[in-house]
Amino acid sequence: MDFEHTEERKLLAEMVRRYIADNYDLNGRHTAAALPEGFSRERWQAFAELGLIGALFPESAGGYGGAGADIAVLFEELGRGLVVEPFLAALLAGTVLAETRSDCPQLAGLIAEETILALAHEEADSRYDLARVTTEAKHNPDGSGWVISGAKSVVLAGDSADWLIVSARISGEVTQEAGIGLFLIPANADGLSIRGYPTVDGMHAAEIALEAVTVDADALLAGEGSGYAMLERAIGAGLLALSAEALGAMDVSADLTVEYFKTRSQFGKTIGSFQALQHRLADVLIEISQTRSSLINAASRFGSDDRQEREWALSAVKVCAGRNGQMVAEEVIQMHGGIGMTWDYAVGHYAKRLVMIDHMLGDADHHLLRVANLSKGGE
């Protein structure tokens, strides 16, 4: 048993952290977030050149990583830096491609930062239920491929993507796992309309409507029998990534608070000397430590072939990220007081990101019951 990362991963983390420290301060983040696409192409290119996109995928898919620990290490640093570039969208969509069409030019383009990809899966009423897909894919009457209609909601990086991976129901009831297909569709396809917008934590997403979008037969990445499993795989990677990002954001939030505790004075002493605040900070640190442990568990089980073990751990860490992230967010703002509420100070932005992570890919309630259901078989 060993909790140390490999030398390669330590170097990767170190490199990312240094790059972010040198190039990515809060103002830079705001500037990038305010760009039309919600991120900086220049930074995205720099990240790609550092090899960060390749770290998300295995060698078989043109990358050099893709293990749970790779994803965890990288996203923890992205969380520390509050990075707005579309890594999560890349991971979600790229995971699908890596498993279904690892030699496609879109994946190569993604790793080389030339292509932006997004996974368009959630719908207005699906609320984290992976199998609830109402967007429909029908065989084109002319026999040449598919016709897809429906709407997708809160698609991360959906407004900057060149290609979308869209889930659509080929057959079955609206909540059935079987019958879901995944399609690779160019963002400029006829019938696609995309409305991008910022999210409250400074990221970007889009609402996407598909009106009889026609695609060739080879747009189908995963068919009725395998689409759901592929989705679960991609979302699983996303759960790990988001949780790691949350851990990074929690860590920085706590560090900023410790720092503030030592410098801010009230009633003639540093606020860090007030026992009530000390104890609350201690509880915050305990929960952060627990989140780290849960992340280690999930990263380690991410590669497991035992679906129950793997998905249990992924849902578990997302519960920790969601619950503890909210606790950290609320506590660090409160412990800072007014300054924590201001745009120009960092903690509020970490807090927003932490709280919004709970809204992504399933909130703590959702994953808590998923854990309960996955536990049923066990002791």
Binding to other proteins in span 9-68, by CB under 8 A? none
Show the CA angle centred on residue 124, arms to residues 196 and 128, nearest 5°. Answer: 105
Residue with tokens 């969208």: 89
Binding to its own copies in span 165-184, by CB under 8 A? none
* Contacting residues for 377 by C-beta, under 8 A, at least 6 apart: 308
SS3 string of 149-166?
A: EEEEEEEECCCCCCEEEE
**Using the rule CB under 8 A, is 282 a contact of other proteins?**
yes
**Using the rule CB under 8 A, is 359 a contact of other proteins?**
yes
Show the CA angle centred on residue 311, arms to residues 59 and 226, nearest 5°. Answer: 65
Among 18, 127, 139, 307, binds other proteins (CB under 8 A): 127
- 244 token code pair: 């790691």
Binding to other proteins in span 183-202, by CB under 8 A? 195, 197-201
User: Among residues 125 and 218, whose Cβ is nearest to other proteins?
Assistant: 125
Binding track, positions 331-350, relative to other proteins; x by CB under 8 A = --xx--xx-xxxxx---xx-
Q: Answer whether 241's CB lies under 8 Å from 194's CB.
A: no
Binding to its own copies in span 131-170, by CB under 8 A? none
Show the CA angle centred on residue 48, arms to residues 46 and 49, nearest 5°. Answer: 65
Binding to other proteins in span 142-161, by CB under 8 A? 153-154
Q: How does DSSP classify residue 341?
A: G
Tell me which of its own copies, other proteins, none is bound by residue 272, counting a contact when its beta carbon lies within the kind-specific cut-off of 5 to 8 angstroms.
other proteins
**Using the rule CB under 8 A, is 273 a contact of other proteins?**
yes
What's the min distance (Å) between Cβ of 51 and other proteins?
Answer: 20
Tell me which of its own copies, other proteins, none is bound by residue 379, counting a contact when its beta carbon lies within the kind-specific cut-off of 5 to 8 angstroms.
other proteins
Binding track, positions 274-303, relative to its own copies; x by CB under 8 A = xxx-xx------------------------
What's the min distance (Å) between Cβ of 146 and other proteins?
Answer: 26
What's the min distance (Å) between Cβ of 64 and other proteins?
Answer: 17
What's the min distance (Å) between Cβ of 369 and other proteins?
Answer: 6
Q: Hey, is 187 helix, strand or coil?
A: coil
Name the pairing type of β-strands 117-120 and 163-169. parallel
**Amino acid (1-letter code) at residue 280:** R
Tell me which of other proteins, its own copies, none is bound by residue 285, counting a contact when its beta carbon lies within the kind-specific cut-off of 5 to 8 angstroms.
other proteins
Binding track, positions 76-115, relative to other proteins; x by CB under 8 A = ----------------------------------------
- What b/e sequence results for 54-72 when a residue is b if at least 16 CB atoms lie within 10 Å of its CB, and e otherwise? bbbbbeebbbbbbbbbbbb
Tell me which of its own copies, other proteins, none is bound by residue 127, counting a contact when its beta carbon lies within the kind-specific cut-off of 5 to 8 angstroms.
other proteins
CA dihedral for 261, 263, 264, 265, sign (positive or negative): positive
Q: Answer whether 145's CB lies under 8 Å from 216's CB.
A: yes
User: CA-CA distance, 210 to 190, in Å (whole number)?
Assistant: 9
Tell me which of its own copies, other proteins, none is bound by residue 113, counting a contact when its beta carbon lies within the kind-specific cut-off of 5 to 8 angstroms.
none
User: How far from 37 is each of 31, 56, 195, CA to CA, in Å?
Assistant: 11, 22, 11
**Using the rule CB under 8 A, is 369 a contact of other proteins?**
yes
What's the min distance (Å) between Cβ of 335 and other proteins?
Answer: 9
Q: Which residues bind its own copies (CB under 8 A)?
A: 274-276, 278-279
